[in-house]
């Protein structure tokens, strides 16, 4: 789960799409929807890459959530390692889209340190096996239905749904003569386009691709640190749909979801946001219809760093990832730095909606950093596109 998140509107708005009742969301890199957990309001990230519905540890403490049946376990994710966690058994009721689900397994994780303060939990795929899920990225709407509705204008693609995982037919054409085919994991908890596993990267010698932008991330997901590279591929296809000149990534991880042998890579929201989408889990079919974003170009990452918004709980944004040899790194920015202001503006006053385009028109940036009880200012120019 990489990149910034978005804020869910506090009230559901309803409209009709293909005869379905759609729940209003706000999409920004991830899909957030409003829920209730044992009657308490909560914002959940919808994440098909997560087998289970998880709950944030800070939310548990702040909401005084009550439970009795709890065990310890080990859990991994996009990071390199596994973590020891507590798991609530059969005691949490999630109300989503007007329907209630009792989660058999509810891992308690430090989610805010991964995705930011606006996340109270993850709505995993474990309770959705009999649902038809409709997502309209541009209209910022979602629906969870009991049966498949009208699919006129959509293209049907066979998928496999097994053990709380959704697999899609994925083909990546790196360059002439270098094509990778196999199963892709649909991961709507990822803000990126396609990220190939470290095993695929090694087999196809992707470290030799030029140009590429290497990055390291302190918290790449459950399991901690992560690393890899961005590069530009000729195209990537799911079923009959091909996105050309795509900026994507490959992992260098030695463990976790991005070192798996079960699939060649994960396919995230930067790929799927170019479609209206219906996921028919019972029928194991994916229905796609290109939207107006389908032919938009994939831009090279030029900011040089990523952050986790902890402005509500810690009063800062925490630097989580740095691109090697970026202007941000050369200027002295460090992973773990606490950003308290950007160009003199307190980050606590920057709304999540505003962050969608916050850096778009900036060429020069000054970060006010709190580091080891000192205030430091770091200034640099945004990098020119490299890919």
pLDDT at 11: 26
Is the pLDDT at 283 greater than 90? The verdict is yes
Residue 117 CA to residue 134 CA, distance in Å, equals 26
pLDDT tens-digit readout, 149-208: 999 999 999 999 999 999 999 999 998 889 999 999 999 999 999 999 999 999 999 999
Name which of 346, 330, 170, 339 is nearest 263 in CA terms. 170
| Per-residue tokens: 97 | 């889209």
Is the pLDDT at 77 greater than 70? The verdict is no
Write the Ramachandran bin of 227: left for phi over 0, alpha for psi from -120 to 50, otherwise beta: beta
Confidence of residue 223 (pLDDT cuts 50, 70, 90): low
H or E element at residue 200: helix 198-203
Asked whether the beta carbons of 254 and 198 are under 8 A apart, the reply is yes
Confidence of residue 82 (pLDDT cuts 50, 70, 90): confident
pLDDT at 5: 29
Asked whether the beta carbons of 215 and 323 are under 8 A apart, the reply is yes
CA atoms within 13 A on the CB side of 327: 17
pLDDT at 176: 81
Coil, helix or strand for 177?
coil
Is the pLDDT at 126 greater than 90? The verdict is no
Q: What average pLDDT does the segment 57-62 reach?
A: 94
Q: What average pLDDT does the segment 107-132 reach?
A: 91
| Per-residue tokens: 288 | 């796609």
């Amino acid at each position: 789960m990489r990149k910034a998140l978005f804020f869910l509107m506090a009230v559901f708005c309803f409209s009709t799409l293909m005869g379905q009742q759609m729940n209003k969301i706000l999409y920004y890199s991830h899909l957030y929807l409003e829920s209730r957990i044992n009657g308490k309001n909560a914002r959940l990230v919808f994440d098909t890459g997560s087998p289970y519905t998880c709950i944030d540890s800070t939310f548990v403490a702040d909401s005084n959530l009550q439970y009795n049946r709890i065990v310890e376990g080990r859990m991994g994710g996009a990071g390199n390692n596994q973590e020891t966690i507590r798991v609530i058994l059969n005691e949490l009721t999630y109300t989503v889209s007007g329907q209630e689900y009792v989660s058999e397994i509810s891992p308690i994780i430090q989610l805010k340190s991964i995705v930011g303060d606006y996340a109270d939990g993850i709505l995993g795929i474990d309770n959705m096996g009999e649902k038809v899920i409709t997502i309209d990225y541009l209209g910022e709407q979602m629906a969870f239905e009991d049966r498949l509705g009208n699919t006129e204008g959509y293209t049907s693609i066979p998928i496999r749904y097994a053990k709380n995982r959704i697999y899609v037919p994925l083909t990546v054409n790196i360059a002439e003569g270098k094509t990778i085919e196999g199963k892709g994991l649909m991961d709507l908890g990822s803000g990126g386009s396609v990220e190939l596993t470290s095993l695929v990267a090694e087999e196809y010698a992707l470290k030799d691709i030029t140009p590429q932008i290497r990055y390291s991330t302190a918290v790449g997901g459950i399991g901690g640190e992560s690393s890899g590279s961005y590069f530009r591929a000729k195209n990537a296809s799911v079923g009959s749909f091909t996105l050309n000149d795509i900026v994507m990534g490959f992992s260098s991880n030695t463990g976790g979801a991005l070192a798996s042998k079960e699939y060649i890579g994960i396919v995230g929201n930067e790929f799927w946001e170019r479609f209206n989408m219906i996921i028919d889990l019972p029928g194991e079919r994916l229905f796609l219809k290109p939207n107006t974003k389908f032919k938009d170009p994939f831009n090279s990452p030029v900011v040089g760093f990523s952050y986790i918004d902890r402005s509500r709980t810690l009063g800062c944004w925490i630097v989580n990832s740095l691109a090697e040899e970026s202007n941000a790194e050369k200027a002295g920015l460090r992973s773990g730095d606490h950003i308290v202001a950007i160009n003199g503006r307190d980050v606590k006053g920057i709304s999540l909606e505003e962050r969608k385009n916050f850096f778009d028109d900036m060429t020069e940036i000054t970060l006010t950093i709190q580091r080891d009880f000192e205030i430091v200012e770091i200034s640099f120019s945004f990098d020119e596109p490299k890919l």
